[in-house]
Structure 1
Amino acid sequence: MNESSVNWGRRTAPSLADIEALADAAFKALPERFTRLCEGVVVRVEDFPDEETMDAMACETDFDLLGLFRGRGLTEGEHLAETGAEPNMVWLYRRPILDFWAESEDTLADIVTHVLVHEIGHHFGLSDADMEEIERQASERD
């Protein structure tokens, strides 16, 4: 279907479940060497970060943060779960992602993949070049 044939008058904004489905598809398309690093990582989608996160990240607006990794990365030593420790989590923030998408020429799927890879990648010690290569490999698998 080409863009001119899409009936935008009947479209609604992608829901939390829609973004979650895009994140799941993005994760499944990532190279195995990357997904092995992600064992046990939980991906959550929310509309916006909570106030605590906004304060901790010094955000000026609700739209400043597209995603966030919380947990213990491989660069922080042993990656074994401690008793009572929260799992490693990636938060994707739907409304800021949609706002970014509205100003971008990238597809929503590409943006979700980018945010997902970067939130995981930075906390597992990957360079920007490494993450760009992972995104490139993921796009080839689509």
Structure 2
Amino acid sequence: MPQLTPEEFERLVIDELDLLPDDMLDGLENVVFVVEDRPENGTLDTLGLYDGVSLTERGQYGFGEMPDRIVIYREPLLDLCADLDELRDQVHVTLVHEIAHFFGIDDDRLHELGWG
């Protein structure tokens, strides 16, 4: 398991986010990316979470809407990965997976596409 401080892990997430294609990020509106240690229930089985209403199910945002959140969980990802390269790959996959939920792509379709 890689040993990273919370700050180093957050930097890795930002670096992986910067590597995603512009066309994947261009449609993100009113979304914040957050790193947390682990989900509220304490599980190590959840790597990330999209918390919001997907584009396919929402109307237009109005003034004062709270942003959707994409949460990346540090401890489950560190626990899953054997080394830094595997961690980078898994953070990348987790970001793509959660961004896909923002765009309305469900888990079944993500698995079909190889991102599950």
Q: Which runs of 5+ in 2 are unaligned?
A: none
Per the alignment, residue 29 of structure 2 pairs with: 39
RMSD: 2.4
Secondary structure, in 3 states, of the residue corresponding to 1:78? coil
Per the alignment, residue 88 of structure 2 pairs with: 109
Q: Could you state the TM-score of these two structures normalised by the residue count of structure 2?
A: 0.78
Q: 1:81 to 1:109 in 2, by over 3 A?
A: farther
The one-letter code of the counterpart of 2:77 is: I
Q: Which runs of 5+ in 1 are unaligned?
A: 1-11, 55-60, 133-142
Alignment of 1:8-87 (within 5 A): 13-50=3-40, 54=41, 62-81=43-62, 83=64, 85-87=65-67
Q: Which has the larger radius of gyration?
A: 1
- Alpha carbons 1:71, 1:86 under 8 Å: kept: no
Q: Could you state the TM-score of these two structures normalised by the residue count of structure 1?
A: 0.65
Secondary structure, in 3 states, of the residue corresponding to 2:92? helix
- Alpha carbons 1:19, 1:112 under 8 Å: kept: no
Whose helix fraction is larger, Structure 1's or Structure 2's?
A: 1
CA drift at 1:49: 1.1
CA drift at 1:87: 0.8
CA drift at 1:39: 3.0
CA drift at 1:123: 3.1
Q: In percent, how many aligned pairs have the same letter?
A: 35
Per the alignment, residue 104 of structure 2 pairs with: 125
Per the alignment, residue 58 of structure 1 pairs with: none
Equivalent pairs counted in the alignment come to: 109
Moved beyond 6 Å, runs of 4+: none
